[in-house]
């Protein structure tokens, strides 16, 4: 499992890749946001203006980003961060139906949302995903994406307030002015709304000017007097959401979910509004971490709109988010049967196939999906997995092109630095000195005690002890690579008791053992091993390697990071940033043993150390 941290990124990143995608298409609001950002031209988006990784373009994503940016914590946001940003499914995060408490919650998700331990998982991906690398694929959004908070502005919603264009008056051939044609009815409006259109407009003004409580009261009044008006109920739901955001209240969010449901249940509800209400409801449910409930909502939608690709794509995403990848696969296949070439379905299907390990086949979907430039396809995770699939099938030049393109489009920090969970402002370089990394003391401690650290590991190397476990992140091209984890995500593993001296040395390094975005582990690699080029999940850590047993026979052992190749020395620490592409060759005659110690990037603040979601 070495691969873990990186692995996850590698292909795993694949998983990671799940990130933001989630809400794209079906998400009406998200769509609007993207349209605004892209100048509302879906077919020819300007790459630079595209939403970055989070592409999610969902209003919740916008909200989450805003919260992250301003450092506000909201229980919902914390939950949503995971729920929305990645496909839990793929990443092995357990669903929770628990509602996060209101206000004042630490920005950490509830335990229930943490990736579950082996055995508790319910799907194949979860079982195989390495805990460290697991989220890797998720798209990182921190600091990277700047999205305008327009999601809540109903004026920006094409569907809610379609613009009426004034047609020039034409005269008939006999010179008379033709009878005024009636405007086509707004597909979102019902007959039951007509008598109160004026009042609805008044209430909408309140909503637009962010007077959520007043808007809610106005809509509530309309609901009481006109209980069959779908628009009144929809407005009430929208104002509840706005108020929930303003007050950071999960309780209001739940009321809002109920209100959307009431819209959809009205016999008088026009189909277009029903679709919009239920898609929005599902989005809010996802935001709350109620993934199964969101799936139910989307299942219901798919029954009503069985040929609607947006609805089906959203259903596929819902399955992905709870780890039912096979079901998701079927749904995306159905979309492609009905709408061949649908970009969103292509990238998602390609993603599923890729993480199952069929590189060749995944390219058939990922490549046309990514090049379609359709909404929801411009995600780092898709570029990441496509590049990886191309590389592993010997199409290395094309892989390079895809990575370059991903970097140009703002999905990666550079063609080499492809981590997806990034804090944008951090300085970066492939290899670091202890001074640059601000770990001079740590390096001294490790180098002074290297023999103790080595000897404890050597005693534990017996395979029967079961401490060194195989890398299972699919990072190995050839050979054998095992690791023994002591800390991960800032938590000490019980196995520390097997190497007590080493762990007590490590305990003196809070920026290492407390690094919630890293691990500490022994890594042993056998001769004949080649590790595919891969990328770690985050730029928030640096990776120290303490050489313990370093063979120099044969062609030796080498580590490439970006375009710099180095090797290890016994008793010496090597520091690199594993968010850059790296690759390892073990071509010596005997095993190589190192201790990997991740440490917070020196530019990471105290607050970030506390609040960044663990990886």
Residues at the contact surface with ligand LMR, assessed by CB under 6 A: 2, 6, 523, 525, 543, 559, 578, 582, 584, 594, 596
Interface with Mn ion includes 133 (CB under 5 A)?
no
Q: Whole-number minimum distance, CB 578 to Mn ion, in Å?
A: 5
Tell me how far apart the alpha carbons of residues 536 and 449 are, in angstroms, rounded to a whole number.
27
- Find residue 522's DSSP bridge partners: 484, 595
Tell me how far apart the alpha carbons of residues 3 and 380 are, in angstroms, rounded to a whole number.
20
Contacts of 601 (CB under 8 A, 6+ apart): 423, 426, 539, 540, 541, 542, 577
Residue nearest to Mn ion (CB): 6
Using CB under 5 A, which residues numbered 547 to 606 contact Mn ion? 578
Q: Whole-number minimum distance, CB 493 to ligand LMR, in Å?
A: 17
Task: Find, among 9, 86, 5, the residue nearest to 388 by Cα.
Answer: 9
Nearer to ligand LMR, 259 or 596 (CB): 596
Nearer to ligand LMR, 389 or 596 (CB): 596
- Provide the CB-side half-sphere exposure for 480 (13 A, CA): 11
Q: Whole-number minimum distance, CB 525 to ligand LMR, in Å?
A: 6
Could you give the 3-state DSSP secondary structure of residue 234?
A: helix
Residue 51's binding partner out of ligand LMR, Mn ion, none, with CB under 5 to 8 Å set by partner kind = none
At which residue do the structure tokens 């009481």 appear?
A: 224
- Paired tokens of 195: 């008598």
Q: Whole-number minimum distance, CB 142 to ligand LMR, in Å?
A: 22
Nearer to Mn ion, 90 or 561 (CB): 561
Residue 192's binding partner out of ligand LMR, Mn ion, none, with CB under 5 to 8 Å set by partner kind = none
- Paired tokens of 471: 């890398």
Nearer to ligand LMR, 147 or 559 (CB): 559
At which residue do the structure tokens 């799907």 appear?
A: 123
Q: Whole-number minimum distance, CB 137 to Mn ion, in Å?
A: 14
Q: Do 505 and 597 touch, CB atoms closer than 8 A?
A: no
Q: Whole-number minimum distance, CB 593 to ligand LMR, in Å?
A: 9
Instruction: Please list the alpha-helical segments (H only) found in 379-486.
Output: 380-392, 396-408, 434-437, 440-448, 450-459
Residue 525's binding partner out of Mn ion, ligand LMR, none, with CB under 5 to 8 Å set by partner kind = ligand LMR
Task: Find, among 301, 309, 35, the residue nearest to 163 by Cα.
Answer: 35
Residue 523's binding partner out of ligand LMR, Mn ion, none, with CB under 5 to 8 Å set by partner kind = ligand LMR
Nearer to ligand LMR, 213 or 460 (CB): 460
Q: Whole-number minimum distance, CB 85 to ligand LMR, in Å?
A: 24
Nearer to ligand LMR, 174 or 563 (CB): 563
Residue 584's binding partner out of Mn ion, ligand LMR, none, with CB under 5 to 8 Å set by partner kind = ligand LMR
Nearer to Mn ion, 233 or 381 (CB): 381
- Find residue 560's DSSP bridge partners: 565, 583
Q: Whole-number minimum distance, CB 53 to Mn ion, in Å?
A: 21
Q: Whole-number minimum distance, CB 392 to ligand LMR, in Å?
A: 16
Residue 54's binding partner out of ligand LMR, Mn ion, none, with CB under 5 to 8 Å set by partner kind = none
Using CB under 5 A, which residues numbered 5 to 44 contact Mn ion? 6
Q: Whole-number minimum distance, CB 534 to ligand LMR, in Å?
A: 7
Tell me how far apart the alpha carbons of residues 544 and 296 are, in angstroms, rounded to a whole number.
46
Tell me how far apart the alpha carbons of residues 524 and 542 are, in angstroms, rounded to a whole number.
20
Nearer to ligand LMR, 352 or 506 (CB): 506
**What is the chain's percent helix, strand, coil content, to nearest 5?**
50, 10, 40
Write the DSSP symbol of residue 71.
T
Task: Find, among 200, 246, 226, the residue nearest to 66 by Cα.
Answer: 246
Nearer to Mn ion, 415 or 476 (CB): 476
Q: Do 141 and 19 touch, CB atoms closer than 8 A?
A: yes
Nearer to ligand LMR, 362 or 523 (CB): 523
The total number of residues written for the chain in this structure: 615
Q: DSSP for 466-501, please give it.
A: --SEE--SS-EEES-EEEEEEEETTEE-GGGGGSHH
Tell me how far apart the alpha carbons of residues 407 and 410 are, in angstroms, rounded to a whole number.
5
For the chain, the straight-line distance linking the first and the last C-alpha, in angstroms and rounded, comes to 15
The radius of gyration of the chain from alpha carbons, rounded to an integer in Å, stands at 26
Nearer to ligand LMR, 294 or 544 (CB): 544
**Total binding residues toward Mn ion, as defined by CB under 5 A:** 2
Sheet with 556-561, side-by-side order of all strands: 476-478, 529-534, 582-587, 556-561, 564-566
Phi/psi region, residue 248 (left: phi>0; alpha: psi -120 to 50; beta: rest), is left
Residue nearest to ligand LMR (CB): 523
Q: Whole-number minimum distance, CB 272 to ligand LMR, in Å?
A: 50
Nearer to ligand LMR, 25 or 476 (CB): 476
Nearer to ligand LMR, 274 or 543 (CB): 543
Phi/psi region, residue 490 (left: phi>0; alpha: psi -120 to 50; beta: rest), is left
Residue 204's binding partner out of Mn ion, ligand LMR, none, with CB under 5 to 8 Å set by partner kind = none
Stretch that binds Mn ion, among 1-9, 111-119, 401-409, 410-418 (CB under 5 A): 1-9
- Provide the CB-side half-sphere exposure for 155 (13 A, CA): 10
Nearer to ligand LMR, 216 or 454 (CB): 454
Q: Whole-number minimum distance, CB 584 to ligand LMR, in Å?
A: 4
Q: Do 412 and 418 touch, CB atoms closer than 8 A?
A: yes
Residue 613's binding partner out of Mn ion, ligand LMR, none, with CB under 5 to 8 Å set by partner kind = none
Residue 513's binding partner out of Mn ion, ligand LMR, none, with CB under 5 to 8 Å set by partner kind = none
Stretch that binds Mn ion, among 4-12, 120-128, 154-162, 461-469 (CB under 5 A): 4-12
Residue 262's binding partner out of ligand LMR, Mn ion, none, with CB under 5 to 8 Å set by partner kind = none
Q: Whole-number minimum distance, CB 2 to ligand LMR, in Å?
A: 5
Q: Whole-number minimum distance, CB 531 to Mn ion, in Å?
A: 7
Question: What phi, psi does 416 have (nearest 5°)?
Answer: -90, -35
At which residue do the structure tokens 């411009």 appear?
A: 378
Contact set with Mn ion (CB under 5 A): 6, 578
């Amino acid at each position: 499992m070495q691969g873990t941290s990186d692995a996850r990124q590698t292909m795993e990143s694949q998983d990671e890749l799940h990130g933001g995608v989630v809400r794209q298409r079906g998400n009406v609001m998200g769509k609007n946001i993207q349209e605004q950002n892209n100048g509302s031209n879906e077919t020819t988006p300007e790459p630079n203006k595209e939403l970055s990784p989070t592409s999610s373009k969902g209003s919740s994503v916008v909200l989450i980003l805003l919260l992250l940016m301003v450092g506000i914590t909201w229980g919902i946001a914390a939950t949503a961060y995971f729920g929305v940003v990645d496909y839990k499914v793929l990443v092995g995060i357990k669903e929770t139906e628990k509602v996060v408490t209101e206000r004042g919650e630490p920005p950490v998700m509830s335990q229930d949302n943490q990736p579950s331990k082996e055995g508790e998982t319910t799907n194949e991906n979860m079982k195989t995903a390495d805990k460290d690398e697991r989220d890797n694929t998720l798209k990182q959004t921190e600091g990277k994406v700047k999205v305008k908070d327009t999601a809540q502005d109903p004026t920006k919603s094409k569907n809610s307030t379609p613009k009426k264009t004034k047609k020039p008056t034409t005269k008939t051939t006999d010179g008379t002015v033709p009878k005024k044609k009636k405007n086509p009815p707004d597909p979102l409006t019902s007959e039951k709304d007509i008598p109160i259109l004026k009042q609805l407009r008044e209430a909408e003004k309140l909503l637009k000017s962010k007077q959520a409580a007043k808007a809610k009261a106005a809509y509530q009044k309309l609901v009481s007097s006109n209980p069959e008006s779908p628009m009144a109920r929809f407005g009430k739901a929208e104002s509840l959401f706005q108020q929930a955001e303003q007050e950071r209240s999960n309780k209001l969010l739940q009321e809002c979910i109920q209100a959307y449901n009431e819209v959809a249940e009205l016999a008088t509800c026009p189909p277009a509004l029903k679709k919009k209400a239920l898609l929005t409801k599902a989005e809010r449910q996802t935001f709350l971490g109620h993934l199964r409930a969101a799936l139910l909502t989307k299942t219901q939608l798919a029954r009503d709109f069985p040929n609607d690709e947006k609805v089906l794509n959203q259903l596929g995403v819902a399955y992905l988010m709870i780890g039912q990848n096979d079901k998701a696969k079927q749904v995306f296949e159905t979309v492609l049967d009905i709408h061949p070439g649908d970009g969103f379905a292509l990238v998602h299907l390609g993603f599923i196939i890729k993480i199952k390990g069929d590189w060749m086949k995944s390219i058939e979907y990922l490549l046309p999906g990514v090049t379609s430039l359709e909404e929801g396809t411009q995600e780092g995770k898709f570029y990441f997995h496509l590049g990886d699939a191309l590389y592993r099938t010997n199409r290395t030049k094309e892989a390079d092109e895809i990575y370059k393109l991903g970097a140009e489009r703002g999905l990666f920090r550079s063609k080499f630095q492809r981590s997806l969970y990034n804090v944008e402002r951090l300085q970066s370089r492939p290899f670091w000195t202890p001074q640059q990394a601000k770990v001079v003391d740590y390096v001294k401690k490790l180098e002074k005690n290297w023999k103790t650290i080595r000897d404890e590991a050597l005693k534990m190397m017996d395979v029967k002890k079961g401490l060194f476990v195989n890398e299972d992140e699919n990072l190995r091209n050839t050979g054998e690579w095992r690791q023994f984890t002591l800390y991960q995500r800032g938590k000490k593993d019980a196995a520390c008791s097997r190497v007590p001296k080493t762990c007590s040395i490590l305990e003196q390094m809070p920026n290492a053992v407390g690094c919630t975005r890293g691990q500490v582990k022994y890594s042993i690699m056998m001769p004949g091993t080649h590790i595919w080029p891969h990328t770690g999940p985050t730029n928030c850590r640096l990776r120290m390697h303490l050489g313990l047993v370093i063979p120099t026979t044969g062609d030796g052992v080498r580590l490439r990071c970006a375009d710099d190749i180095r090797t290890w020395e016994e008793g010496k620490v090597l520091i690199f940033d594993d968010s850059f592409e790296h690759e390892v060759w073990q071509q010596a005659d005997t095993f190589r043993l190192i201790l990997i110690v991740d440490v917070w990037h020196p530019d990471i603040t105290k607050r970030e150390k506390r609040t960044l979601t663990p990886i």
